[in-house]
Amino acid sequence: MDNIIRIAVQKSGRLSDDSLSLIKECGIKFYNGTGKLKSTATNFPIEFLFLRDDDIPGYVADGVADIGIVGENEMVEKDKQVTVVKKLGFSKCRLSLAIPKSKHYQNLQDFQGASIATSYPKILQQFLDKNKIKADIHEISGSVEIAPSIGLADAICDIVSSGSTLMMNGLKEVEEIFKSEAVLISHQNLSTEKQDILERLLFRINAVQTGKNNKYLLLNAPNDSLQEIVSLIPGMKSPTILPLAEEGWSSVHAVVNEDRFWEVIENLRAAGAQGILVVPIEKMVI
């Protein structure tokens, strides 16, 4: 069926909520009751497959699903033929090497001849090869962090986010080997019709993401500082300036990028801006 695109998303886990929120923020309506494996949107030509994240790269490579949302770690580890369409900015984490806290760590050479437990043997092997380290990889599918304490391995290579799992298991992170976030992937040969639907979806995702990265700023400025205040605002284009009812004052409206946000506010205040309001932007098309 070329008039609909099929997306694979994680059924339940760390990626599910953010994946589905993103789709909803794109204005796409669908029902995903518990236990459902498939669902079709009511107002956009998209069908959902709810799967384990491990299966998503394979389904997309085989064309069972046209696109999918998965962690880069899983995508690289599975090593399937898929295209990365877009980084999505959520489920950020890293894959790191960790050793018992009590052990002294000098450098990567400490892993020479060591045994390392991991669920990511491919990514780890590539890293070790690149650094000319010969180590013994033990592939295990879960609870990797207990491997050193039960004598299964000298070290582990696992996903780290806050670091608290490592700490609770008496381990310390010594080398980060891979950075990951959720990505939108696609089948390598989408039909023109499906490619068009993907473009429409991407247009919406970009609008949602750009909106999140920017804030709408409103402030009052005395007219004699107006020029300086306007020069401090790095806007999309030039800001909107409206006269206030009070003589000698203007209202300035502009869009400011979140990265520079506090710095801009501080400078504006110093230049005499008052009544500064910051409003979230739901969607932004540039």
At its nearest, how many Å lie between ligand PRT and the CB of residue 135?
Answer: 20
Q: Is 110 in the site for Zn ion (CB under 5 A)?
A: no
Among 40, 109, 161, 240, binds ligand PRT (CB under 6 A): 161
Instruction: Give me the long-range contacts of 189-197 (CB less than 8 A, separation at least 24).
Output: 189/63, 190/66, 191/2, 193/2, 193/3, 194/2, 194/5, 194/66, 197/4, 197/5, 197/45, 197/46
Stretch that binds ligand PRT, among 7-15, 28-36, 106-114, 268-276 (CB under 6 A): 7-15
Specify the residue, 102 or 162, whose C-beta has the smaller distance to ligand PRT: 162
Write out the E strands in the chain.
5-10, 38-40, 46-51, 67-71, 83-87, 93-100, 115-118, 136-139, 155-160, 171-180, 182-186, 214-222, 240-243, 249-257, 274-280
Select the residue whose beta carbon is closest to ligand PRT and give its number.
71
Q: Is residue 173 close enough to count as binding Zn ion by CB under 5 A?
A: no
Does residue 53 touch Zn ion according to CB under 5 A?
yes
- Interface with Zn ion, residue 54, by CB under 5 A: yes
> Within 35-64, which residues bind ligand PRT (CB under 6 A)?
52-54
Contacts of 169 (CB under 8 A, 6+ apart): 145, 146, 148, 149
Please tell me whether residue 66 binds Zn ion under the rule CB under 5 A.
no
Contact between 172 and ligand PRT per CB under 6 A = no
Query: Interacting stretch for ligand PRT, rule CB under 6 A, among 66-74, 96-104, 146-154, 226-234?
Result: 66-74
